[in-house]
Amino acid sequence: MNKVAVFGKPGSGKSTLSRKLATATGILLYSLDSFWQRLEQADTLMYIDLPYRVSYWLVTKRLIKGLIVKPEGWPEGSSVFKGSLQS
């Protein structure tokens, strides 16, 4: 396992899991916004499948916290409010 693609529903904890996985394994962390780019580069795929109610709660929590502090790894110039509403 050298290149892992983590994907799932919005607010499912992909970024959090990716950071923890990178820290635990020493694998470099790259944020790739394109879904297909992630799949093409990876040798291991991880899909996070949380219940919708949990995903909705995590998106809402991110929105509330994001009004005060921009989430780590959030794309520069991207609105946390608009991104959360789109999620």
pLDDT per position in the chain (87 positions), as tens?
Answer: 888 989 888 888 888 899 999 999 999 988 776 677 777 888 998 999 999 999 889 888 888 888 888 877 777 777 877 877 776
CB 80 within 8 A of CB 62: yes
Q: For position 66, what pLDDT does the model report?
A: 81
For residue 39 the two structure tokens come to 């799949």
CB 53 within 8 A of CB 12: no
What's the whole-model pTM score?
0.69
Q: For position 20, what pLDDT does the model report?
A: 94
Name 23's Cβ contacts closer than 8 Å, sequence gap at least 6.
Answer: none
